[in-house]
């Protein structure tokens, strides 16, 4: 059995991200179980503006909810802020057989969001400043750990040069989807498609090669 541990982004279980559908697609792979790790502690609209904890504190929340003690092989997937949470857990000594970092702001979010600086300061949103381009927090993470890094050319929230560090050795470039790298329903055809089938395919390939 292979356990996929998924760390969502800052928006948590936002409907647009269709985490339930992503989980379903991954669990269609034989011998795969999926756990979505909760660490934000809040949900609903304006999740970003209500996040007061530092990213280190959010990582501690994730640490408490890790499900895999005594389990088999582990694949860890982090999307957006979840990719940074995953990096912190690795830095704390947690081991995973494969790590996938999708749309992670390793060098910060898009500079256009700096216009929200004063609002974030007023509301005390700590992760905003920690994920600002080239912040001291991001620099403190050190060299990017081994894994597969995924970035999109049309991602308006995390530039591709931020999602894919220079030291990354296994890289996937996407041209057809933005930051919400999740399965979605095709409006015209009313059928489920995937904005990022590559994540499912990476997991499938790993599982097939490890069995």
* Domain CATH for 120: 3.40.50.1820
Range of the domain at 143: 2-78+87-210
CA distances 96 to 58, 59, 71, 72, 202, Å, are 19, 16, 11, 10, 15
Cα(17)–Cα(66) distance, integer angstroms: 21
pLDDT the model gives residue 105: 97
Between β-strands 98-102 and 148-152, what pairing exists: parallel, antiparallel or unpaired?
A: parallel
Decide: helix, strand or coil at residue 119. Answer: helix
Compute the chain's Rg from CA coordinates.
16
pLDDT averages per 10-residue partition of the chain, 211 residues: 92 64 90 92 60 91 84 90 97 94 96 93 92 96 94 91 90 78 51 60 89 68
Cα(38)–Cα(136) distance, integer angstroms: 26
35-7-183-17 Cα dihedral, nearest 10 degrees? 120
- Give me the number of domains the chain comprises: 1
pLDDT the model gives residue 34: 94
pLDDT the model gives residue 66: 92
pLDDT the model gives residue 8: 92
pTM: 0.88
């Amino acid at each position: 059995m292979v356990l996929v541990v998924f760390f969502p982004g800052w928006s948590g279980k936002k409907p647009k991200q269709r985490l339930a559908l992503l989980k379903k697609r991954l669990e269609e792979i034989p011998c795969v179980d999926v756990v979505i790790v909760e660490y934000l502690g809040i949900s609903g609209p304006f999740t970003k503006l209500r996040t007061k904890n530092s990213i280190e504190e959010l990582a501690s929340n994730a640490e408490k909810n890790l499900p895999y003690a005594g389990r088999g092989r582990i694949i860890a997937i982090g999307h957006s802020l979840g990719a940074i949470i995953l990096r912190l857990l690795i830095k704390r000594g947690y081991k995973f057989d494969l790590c996938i970092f999708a749309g992670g702001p390793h060098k910060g979010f898009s500079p256009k969001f700096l216009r929200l600086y004063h609002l974030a300061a007023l509301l005390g949103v700590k992760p905003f400043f920690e994920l600002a381009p080239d912040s001291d927090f991001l620099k403190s993470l050190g060299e990017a750990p081994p894994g597969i890094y995924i970035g999109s050319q049309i991602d308006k929230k995390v530039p591709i040069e931020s999602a894919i560090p220079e030291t990354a050795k296994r890289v996937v470039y996407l041209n057809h989807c933005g930051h919400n790298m999740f399965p979605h329903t095709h409006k015209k055809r009313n059928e489920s498609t995937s904005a990022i089938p590559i994540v499912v395919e990476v997991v499938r390939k790993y599982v097939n090669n490890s069995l």
